Amino acid sequence: DVPTALKLSKEALTIGIHWFEEPILNTNFAGYEALKRKTSISLAMGEREYNCEALKELIRRNAIDLWQPDIIRIGGVEEWRNSAAIANGYNIPVLAHYYKDYDVPLLCTISNGYGAESFDWIDKIIDEPMKIDNGYAVPREIAGWGFKFKEASLHEVK
């Protein structure tokens, strides 16, 4: 709820946390608007969205600081890029959600890329795990996504 999120956001600031990721229900636009007015911590949102409508509403309410599209949920590359372009029009950085091996190449194509979450689950099923150097992803120099799934990892989906 908003009062609890507000309390947590104030505590988070005291320990150097830079943003608050989906602190309340993603459909509570009025709540995000209230939080934005009452705290200085950046509000991040978007990982649960299936289109750009929530982003547009949060922008309309001046209730978002970081946009976090999830390439799978939002509808693939084109809708991910569409959402990034909308965010860019309002100087909102993109902090991509969850799939670094897809997100980092996309972040390299936009001017408002901020970062990507890094989870290692995919590393054991692809041929070329993305390198992370001092907390920064190193984009691959291979065309496309820059990796292939290992044949042995595909048996479950055949």
**Helix (H, G, I), strand (E, B), or coil: what is residue 143?**
coil
DSSP string, 118-141: ---TTGGGBSSPPEEETTEEE---
Number of domains, the chain: 1
What average pLDDT does this structure show over 75-79? 95
Asked, for residue 14, whether it belongs to a domain, the answer is yes
Asked, for residue 145, whether it belongs to a domain, the answer is no
Quote the pTM value. Answer: 0.89
Asked, for residue 157, whether it belongs to a domain, the answer is no
Q: What is the DSSP letter of 146?
A: S
Share of the chain above pLDDT 70, in %: 99
pLDDT given for residue 158 in this prediction: 63
Asked, for residue 127, whether it belongs to a domain, the answer is no
Asked, for residue 22, whether it belongs to a domain, the answer is yes
Residue 98: CATH number of its domain: 3.20.20.120
The residue range of the domain holding 39 is 2-120
Q: Are residues 110 and 78 in contact, defined by beta-carbon separation less than 8 angstroms? A: no
- Whether the pLDDT of residue 5 is over 70: the answer is yes
What average pLDDT does this structure show over 39-44? 96
What average pLDDT does this structure show over 50-70? 97
- Whether the pLDDT of residue 35 is over 80: the answer is yes
- Whether the pLDDT of residue 153 is over 90: the answer is no
What average pLDDT does this structure show over 54-70? 97
Over residues 110-119, the pLDDT tens digits come to 999 999 988 8
